[in-house]
Amino acid sequence: MRNRNNWLVLIVLLIIFSLWVDLSKKITIYNPFNDKPLVDRNVDVKLGLDLRGGLQALLEADVPAETAITSEELNNARNILQNRANALGVSEIVMQTAGDRRIVAEFPGVTNPEEVVATLKQTALLEFVDMGTNPLQPGSIIKTDFGIADPAAPGVDSPTATPSDPAAAPTETAPAETIYHTVMTGAGLQTASVQRSQTGAYQIAFVLKSDATNTFAEYTTSHTKQYLAIVLDKQVISAPIIENPITSGEGVISGNFTQEAAQTLAVQLRSGALPIPIKVVESRTVGATLGEESIRKSVIAGIIGMIVVILFMGFNYQLPGIIADMALICYALFSLMVFKLIPVTLTLPGIAGFILSVGMAVDANVLIFERLKEELRAGRNLRQAIDLAWSRAWPSIRDSNTSTLITCLILFVFGNTFGASMVKGFSVTLALGVGISLFTAIIVTRTFLHTVLDGMKLAEHPRWFGL
Amino acid sequence: MNIVKSRYVYFLISLLVIIPGIIFMGLNWAKTKDGPLLLGVDFRGGSLLEVQFEGTRPSAEDIASLYKEFSSEEQPIADPIIQSLGEDSFSIRSKTMTDETKGLIVAEMETRFSSRVIVLNFTSVSASVGAEVTRAAGFAILAAAAAILGYIWWAFRKVEHAYRYGTAAIIAMLHDVLVVVGVEAILGYFLGWEADALFLTALLTVIGFSVHDTIVVFDRVRENSGLYRRVEYEKMVNHSIVQTLDRSITTQLTVMFTLFTLVLFGGDSIRHFVIILLIGIFSGTYSSIFNAAQILVVWENREWTSWFKRKEEAAF
């Protein structure tokens, strides 16, 4: 009995908490001792590309199928592509590796998918750029003369480096029309690694290839005490000063690097060009109008579906049906809370999966209530019947839901390997729906039913149990 | 109520639904040489462009000739399949083209037909990825079937002939898969419905549900086989089905209600998906009430030894 009251308290608290999460876009919990926020999270519903519009591209390593690709190479490629994409000024870009040779890139809300794809496909270009005495801040976007002006200018020409497509260049190009001179491209680098100076600061040591050594020696001799910027895909990564001429082909880039920043820069220097060539094998664009319409329609369908199920359960099972309806409303509240907290990206099939799981959520209750009727008909008293109904219906509920979860798992693996986020979204919401519905249909319904029974003398009214 | 007695009638009903489906799978195969279903771009590879015209919509021939102009050796997109979407939109299927080509085509549409063109949806999948996804989809279905078979075998391990339950559940599941794929083949033949990633999702969900339903019946058989040891097997199985009948129908109805609201109000992009789910779930309930446990009885009685006799009687 005491145990049951504990459940009731827990359920009520969960309902209050879920209402709070469901109705807010952001949750903040303050620490009562120092008034600083303890938890500060954005809990807005995350919508998938099919609902908000945007571009999803599946990129694949453009190498023969039998060539193995290490996860490090793939991750490096992902990081570089991410940097490149960030320069486009699109917010909330998602880039994830999928399987062992693919990367899924998602660009919510873009209206110019052609340009985005063009930017991704272009080979990354690392340049050492002459900045004279006025270095630009890291992050600035610049124009260089590499590949545009005098073809003899760059010290070492790289066969893989191509000039950026003017159409693909970001619109917010920094300081108007200054064109910087490219001294050398990343193709001239042999290695780059992180080390610590005598003072303990992180710096990057690099070694040049022999043909680049001469170019670099000449240049650094004539430009000592000037700035030499390291530019990746036309974005300034760092602009160190040339302290001394570098004639040996070995040098050090120092600056206020954290260990992390130094590591990243070293990786970028080593793999200025992508570690693996990439091609676009799949591209999906959804217009924003289609997305908006889909959301509106799904929400309407969801609400109507809920109402129909609630009415049906109430008419079919009377009192237990109404209690199951209350549990169903809890189910909807809890699910939305879980979706917002994890957060689960909602796609159209994901919403379909959720609405479907509403239908399934009542199945556990249906199983129990049918069993309850049987036990009551067999002449047991109400309390006994309730306990028996729950314990005897459990194996069916367990086995049937397990088989659904197995299917969800296989769908998830499938969707994850192929970057099929629609399939993945469906499996995630259905699986969460199954899990949450087990809790609400079994524990919440039972607790509510006992609470109602304790309050009223219902044992004399079997009619209310649909008999 | 005796649901087991006329089991061969129910098997026959299932066959009457499945056989036309298989015939149309064959017809599709003969027509497209691709396989039993019309495959969408997800599996076959290719490009699907859905555009809406704000001004007057050009004719399909105009679009086809525009595609022909942009067709090249690397991107042979001539002869696209063009279908109307509502009054102002087209869905255009072609061989795979790049985003760049799509951008050029849309720009050309705007100038040539002097109308603002809104890209509702553009999907482009290379043929190699399509082929790989198709293989993986087949594998996903087999893996799901194997995992569920294994689980049922384990869950019923304490019952005599546990493997019979697993096998019967898989047969019932195959029944539902055949019904769904058959219906898709028929709809593909007449209405041009293509199987895409969502179709696969629907199919796998139907598999999960089919087994879900069957297990509830089998669970009752498992429980009753311990309780009524003296009762004839056939009667005991029938009793189990009758006992779970209310539940089967109720659950079926609630799921159907939610799916119907999705069909009516859920928007065009998931309508095919939901209709396939509806058919599959109906089939799942049918097979769990009228096929699955009956297979156990056929097996227990070893009825295949007298099948020819039975047929003669039926003919008479």
Q: 3-state DSSP call for residue A200?
A: coil
**Cβ-Cβ contacts under 8 Å, B119 against chain A:** 285, 287
Q: What is the pLDDT of residue A131?
A: 82
Identify the CA nearest to A287 among candidates B116, B259, B80.
B116
Cα–Cα separations (whole angstroms), residue B171 to A215, A424, B209, B217, B294: 74, 27, 14, 15, 11
- Window 271-290 of B, Cβ < 8 Å to A: 273-274, 277
Q: pLDDT tens-digit profile of B273-288?
A: 889 989 999 999 999 9
**Domain locations in chain A?**
2-40+287-465, 116-283
Chain B residue with CA closest to A374: the answer is B243
Cβ contacts of B314 within 8 Å, gap of 6 or more = B8
Q: What is the pLDDT of residue A446?
A: 87
Profile chain B (316 residues) by mean pLDDT over runs of 10 residues: 86 93 91 82 86 86 87 84 83 87 88 86 84 80 84 84 87 93 93 84 82 88 86 91 89 86 80 89 92 90 75 47
| A366 to B255: CB separation less than 8 angstroms, yes or no | no
Q: pLDDT tens-digit profile of B143-179?
A: 888 888 888 888 888 888 888 888 898 899 999 999 9
> What pTM, to 2 d.p., does this model score?
0.73
How many Å from the N-terminal Cα to the C-terminal Cα in chain B?
A: 25
**Cβ-Cβ contacts under 8 Å, A308 against chain B:** 257-258, 261
**Cβ-Cβ contacts under 8 Å, B269 against chain A:** 50, 290, 294, 348
Q: What is the pLDDT of residue B25?
A: 92
Q: What is the pLDDT of residue A455?
A: 66
Cβ contacts of B270 within 8 Å, gap of 6 or more = A294, A348, A349, A352, B198, B262
Chain B residue with CA closest to A292: the answer is B267
B150/A contact by beta carbon, under 8 A: no
Q: What is the pLDDT of residue A125?
A: 66
Q: Is B259 exposed, middle or buried (0-12, 13-18, 19+ CB in 10 A)?
A: buried
Q: With DSSP H G I counted as helix, E B as strand and the rest as coil, what are the percentages for chain B, rounded to 5?
A: 70, 10, 20
Cα–Cα separations (whole angstroms), residue B51 to A54, B65, B89, B92: 15, 16, 6, 8
Q: What is the pLDDT of residue B26?
A: 92
Q: What is the pLDDT of residue A146?
A: 65
Residue A89 falls in which region: left (phi positive, over 0), alpha (psi -120 to 50) or beta: left
Profile chain A (467 residues) by mean pLDDT over runs of 10 residues: 78 92 82 75 80 85 78 80 71 80 85 76 71 78 61 37 40 55 77 81 82 83 84 75 81 74 69 69 82 81 87 87 90 90 82 75 85 86 85 86 85 76 80 89 86 67 59
Q: What is the pLDDT of residue A169?
A: 40
**Cβ-Cβ contacts under 8 Å, B288 against chain A:** none
| B147 to A406: CB separation less than 8 angstroms, yes or no | yes
Rg of the Cα trace of chain A?
31
Class of domain A116-283 (CATH, top level): alpha beta
Which among B118, B208, B262 has the least Cβ separation from residue A407?
B208
Mutation site, B90, B250, B273, B276, interface A, largest A CB count within 10 A: B250
In the structure encoding, which two tokens stand for residue A114, read together? 């052609």
B213/A contact by beta carbon, under 8 A: yes
CATH topology of domain A2-40+287-465: Multidrug efflux transporter AcrB transmembrane fold (1.20.1640)
| A298 to B267: CB separation less than 8 angstroms, yes or no | yes
Which among B220, B253, B269 has the least Cβ separation from residue A348?
B269
Please name each of the domains of chain B with its CATH number: 7-36+129-315 (1.20.1640.10), 46-124 (3.30.70.3220)
Q: What is the pLDDT of residue A161?
A: 36
Q: What is the pLDDT of residue B241?
A: 93
B298/A contact by beta carbon, under 8 A: no
Which among B119, B147, B212 has the least Cβ separation from residue A400?
B212
| A283 to B123: CB separation less than 8 angstroms, yes or no | yes
Q: What is the pLDDT of residue A174?
A: 43
| A293 to B266: CB separation less than 8 angstroms, yes or no | no
